[in-house]
Structure 1
Amino acid sequence: MKSLKPLFLILPFVLTFACKAPEKEKNWYKGNLHTHSYWSDGDEFPEMIMDWYKGQGYQFVTLTDHNTLAEDDKWKVIPEDSLHQAGFEKYLKKYGVEWVNYKLDSAGRRVVKLKTYDEYTDLFEEDEKFLIIKAEEITDGFEGKPLHMNATNIQTKIEAQGGGSVVEVLQNNIDQVLKQREETGVPIMPHVNHPNFHYAISLTDMIALRGERFFEVYNGHPTVHNEGDESHISTEEMWDKINIAYLKADKPMMQGLATDDTHHYHSFGKTWSNAGRGWVMVRADSLNAASLIHAMEAGDFYSSTGVTLKKLSFEDKKLTVEIDGEEGVTYTTSFVGVKKGADNSEVLSTTQALESSFEMTEDLLFIRCKVTSSKLQKNPIENLIYEMAWTQPVF
């Protein structure tokens, strides 16, 4: 029996190695991680919202209403203006009286019972075609400053935790998200929303956080000040400065997301928070929440307001991008980096070629890529009028 024991111990590992399945081919999935509905301060029904995103070629969407998971009974009074009344009529016509539960209240107003997450997801989800991920915008504050954070793939609602400072409020909420992730064993992804909204979250605040891997470098709401102002840096400059500090502190790098933060579905233009302005393109082996989150945590995604990439790789210290170009459109690819010991990022190289590379050298702390198109966005905000894309920093 002594001679059999080593074979008994080794055999499972031999079989595991021999039977290991080949790595699945990865695909690109387009998704929006910040969306609102009638469940909080959006002005549309979840079904109409998901129908729009699915029809526009998105593969995944999170409904991130404020401090709710769309799981209780909620009746919504439809605003009496003609725009929202017409929206209700469109909703009723599309889904029918057997689906839409509504009545008139004592004041003669239309009141509609909202469908829950569990009720509406089956209408839209299809394997490898469309996924709705349960999420929440944990909405908190400190001394009048709005402090918002999304939790993607959350399993149970998290109450806003509060705290004695901006950093403490944010950290308390991050800790609760990560605690639920640890307790459930389910990948749950926190991300800090629109730091320049009311200029509530400073660079110093962001640097002080622990366990946060994501923030919005671009948010499609018209009042979030992505570009900053004469007294505040842009979110893109903030991004690089955060990562300078994080690498010095041996923290994982901060990843930059582009999101819609959609609220308005009936009025359109630069003063409204509309759908279709910003999204992420995630390269994952399958369309499920765990695969998507793991891919984003690995930095295997880019953010976009319109530019599509055919190729994105970082191999042998070389960052390579290839743009899926449109006829008649020009593209400027900028490789942005930070030199060791520097306090700011700089543009290291630019090109208008559709495919380009930049080699990471020993004097650089990290590099990333930004592509700016000559094509105007259909519905831009601020002065960010051209279609763009941002890759994640590598080091």
Structure 2
Amino acid sequence: MCEDESHLNRRALLVTGAATALTLGTVSFADDAGAAERRSGQETRTIRGTLPTGAPDFVYLPVEIPRGVRQIHVAYAYEKPAVPPGTPGNALDIGIFDERGTGLGGRGFRGWSGGARTEFFLRADDATPGYLPGPVRAGRWHIVLGPYTVSPQGLPYEVTITLTYGDPGRTPKPVYPPERAKGRGRAWYRGDCHLHTWYSDGRRTPAEIGALARAAGLDFINSSEHNTHSAHAHWSDVAGDDLLVLLGEEVTTRNGHVLALGTEPGTFVDWRYRARDNRFGHYARAIRRAGGLVVPAHPHATCVGCNWKFGFNDADAVEVWNGAYSPEDEVALSEWDNALVAAARGGRRWLPAMGNSDAHRDPDPVGRPQTVVLAEDLTREAILDGIRAGRSYLAESKAVELSFSAAGGKGAHAGIGERLRVAADDPVTVRLDVKGVPGCVIRFVTDQGVLFTSPAVGPSGTGSAEWRTTASYAAYVRAEVRKPQTAPPLPGPMAALTNPIFLGR
């Protein structure tokens, strides 16, 4: 074993065109000193250092890999000293890029586990979840450290790299889930598009997620691991005639998280930038080129780096309900509704709302909430079309069903996400029918705010409400189904909500 601390004095601060990055001195295995260890089959280096408060977002540790390596194994640890109340402590993420480099776009990307693991390995035929199997080719690799938060005392760390020599083995061809399941034609399909397994910081396997999704009455799900697409090749056995599995990623930047939803298999989306770097638009376009949707996740979450700072001009939809309904969701809903007003006033494109569970581990429920989409069939293309068009509503569980429509004169009719084309003063009747919501109230919300609230739905959980208006009075109408108030005057938690129906020509 060789230990090296002196290389830390030979570091350089690089500006990469996105986030600044600290590049440390190179760790070399390709020298005569390691010849004896290579003959024995393994060779190890340990690196120690300390990152100061205010360290760059990413710290790269170059590693020269010689020929003949079968496996690379990396373990790391760091100190977590006590900090004053209200002060973030140490948290350090980790990942790796191969000899193809660390350039933005991810050509050399080989895996990321964030702070979920203390060690990982990769070789041609296998890798730790979160990492991509493939040959360990000779050249300059880079271990990437991400100091998520650094305490006032600094962040002392240790990285141990072990190479195993031998036959490189073969990389299996990935098998991806099909893009079609056995649907019901044009129908309402239930999905949860924000889920985590052990391929990032979740604790469930894909098979466990699949079983929970079926129990939750879901028709489709989306793989959304933090900053890695390594799970894509592990969903084919989970998908079936009754469950469509879409592939994607939760792109986890220092200025917010965004779902790359329903991308082509094997699509990797880089995360190494902040809002000030003006790079997000490029990667949003890359998600769309890969056939996916751009969906900012939990935009008002309070965890460090979780609050969405990139704006919504490049988004296709927005997650306004994340897990158990919370004050964060209430703020996201209000912001989304304000954007609907601006879109209606200016005749601009509007963003549909989504709801997802963001389930990580027991007891996080899968499919609570869920997005219910009107799609032509249970295919990747049809589901994404339905989400993009806003033909969807959000429900707490499979027990909640609703039907929402608006009707005008001469047979004019519109459903969720559509426009009822009527004259400004023509009478419009808005109707909501709902099941599975005992004790809840129905609210109709317009660009003026809440203009109708029903009495509480009875014990059967089945109810309906009608309201008459005009396009001159309401530019759009959307429905909410709320549980009883727990902290008046705030409204009760959400049981369901719809995307809007727009009124007028």
TM-score (norm 2): 0.51
Task: Give aligned pairs, total.
Answer: 287
Q: Equivalents in 1 of 2:480, 2:325: separation in Å?
A: 22
Amino acid at match of 1:259: N
Query: Which structure 1 residue ranges, 5 or more long, are not aligned?
Result: 1-23, 71-115, 182-187, 228-233, 340-345, 377-382
For 1:303, the equivalent position in structure 2 comes to 394
Q: How does 1:283-362 map to 2 (within 5 A)?
A: 283-306=374-397, 308-316=400-408, 317=420, 318-325=429-436, 329-339=438-448, 346-352=449-455, 354-358=463-467, 359-362=469-472
* Alignment pair present for 1:226 and 2:329: yes
Q: Equivalents in 1 of 2:485, 2:239: separation in Å?
A: 32
Q: How does 1:107-186 map to 2 (within 5 A)?
A: 116-126=231-241, 129-141=242-254, 145=255, 147-155=256-264, 156-160=266-270, 162-163=272-273, 165=275, 168-181=278-291
1:300: Cα distance to partner? 1.4
1:335: Cα distance to partner? 0.3
Which has more radius of gyration? Answer: 2
**Change over 3 Å in CA distance of 1:296–1:158 after alignment to 2:** same
1:333: Cα distance to partner? 0.6
CA deviation vs aligned residue, 1:344-375 (integer Å, no higher than 9, x gap): xx111111362223344313232211012459
1:241: Cα distance to partner? 1.3
**Change over 3 Å in CA distance of 1:246–1:364 after alignment to 2:** same
Q: Equivalents in 2 of 1:59, 1:25: separation in Å?
A: 13
Amino acid at match of 1:62: N
Q: Equivalents in 1 of 2:207, 2:436: separation in Å?
A: 33
**Change over 3 Å in CA distance of 1:247–1:386 after alignment to 2:** closer
1:32: Cα distance to partner? 0.3
1:169: Cα distance to partner? 4.8
**CA-based RMSD:** 3.1
The answer on whether the counterparts of 2:196 and 2:358 sit within 8 Å (CA) in structure 1 is: yes
The counterpart of 1:198, out of the listed 289, 302, 305, is 302
Residue aligned with 1:303, SS: strand
Q: Equivalents in 2 of 1:294, 1:374: separation in Å?
A: 34
The answer on whether the counterparts of 2:373 and 2:386 sit within 8 Å (CA) in structure 1 is: yes
Q: Equivalents in 2 of 1:367, 1:223: separation in Å?
A: 23
The answer on whether the counterparts of 1:337 and 1:364 sit within 8 Å (CA) in structure 2 is: yes
Residue aligned with 2:339, SS: helix
1:37: Cα distance to partner? 0.5
Residue aligned with 1:38, SS: coil
The answer on whether the counterparts of 1:370 and 1:390 sit within 8 Å (CA) in structure 2 is: yes
Q: Equivalents in 2 of 1:125, 1:59: separation in Å?
A: 10
The answer on whether the counterparts of 1:255 and 1:392 sit within 8 Å (CA) in structure 2 is: yes
1:249: Cα distance to partner? 4.6
**Change over 3 Å in CA distance of 1:360–1:235 after alignment to 2:** farther
Query: Which structure 2 residue ranges, 5 or more long, are not aligned?
Result: 1-183, 409-419, 421-428, 458-462
Name the structure, 1 or 2, with higher relative contact order (CA <8 Å, separation 6+). 1
**Change over 3 Å in CA distance of 1:375–1:131 after alignment to 2:** farther
